[in-house]
Each structure stands twice: as C-alpha cells, then as structure tokens.
Structure 1
C-alpha cells in the first residue's frame, strides 16, 4: 500500500496517479481513468477531475493508494 500525505484540501485523481509514479504522464493518467482501470473507494470511477481527499483509497492495477 502506498500512503500519500495530502497537502491541502484535495488532489485531483490524475495528479495523484502522477505524484505516486503509477503513471508517467497526465495523458496516461487520463487514459487509465477513461478505460475504467481506477477504483475510487472500491468503485470504478471515470471522473478525471475527481477530488481525492483524506481517507480515500484509490486502487490502480492492484496498487492501493491511501490518502492520509
């Protein structure tokens, strides 16, 4: 599990995927979200601009990001 310390109120989903090095670029992040490869708190979510907040869990290809 990857623990990501949030600085501020939220981080956009695409930015979180880049910040944790699970994708190489913003374009790649948008593609994996559009393809339904990302789960937000256990549910597939297609929103690229999703605001991820403290306590949320993101699952991408078996890698879990916990936002703390």
Structure 2
C-alpha cells in the first residue's frame, strides 16, 4: 500500500496504523501531531487509526528551544 508521509511516498503494510508508522520511524507519540488527509488525529486513537492506500500523512515534531 502506498501513502505519502511529509511529502514523500512510501510503502506500508495493509492494516497499518498511525501508531505503527510512528514506531517505524522511532517517534514518540507525545512529541508529535499527526494529520491524516488534512485532519488532525487525536493521540489516543493513533493505534486504532488505520492507514489506507493513498493517504497523505503529515507528522509535525515539537522542538524546544529558546
């Protein structure tokens, strides 16, 4: 299955979730906001939100500093 993540096309296994995708990139859920097809997804449902062919995913990282 093909999806786009932050502008790059990639392949994922059918029935993968947003949680699976974050694990694949070794990203902690609490440090990001995920948008699926222009809708922000609540963190509590990352592991239940299934990816579908053609999805456009944006992962936004929080960066501290001053």
Give the TM-score taking structure 2 as reference length: 0.61
- Structure-1 residue corresponding to 2:17: 12
Gaps of 5+ in 2: 1-6, 62-66
Q: Which structure's CA Rg is the greater one?
A: 2
Structure 1 position 39, deviation (Å): 0.6
Is 1:53 aligned to 2:49, yes or no? Answer: no
Is 1:2 aligned to 2:8, yes or no? Answer: yes
- Matches for 1:22-33 after TM superposition, within 5 Å: 23=27, 28-29=28-29, 31-32=30-31
Contact 1:10–1:54 at 8 Å: present in 2 too? no
RMSD over equivalenced CA pairs, Å: 2.2
Aligned length, in residue pairs: 52
Structure 1 runs (4+) greater than 6 angstroms displaced: none
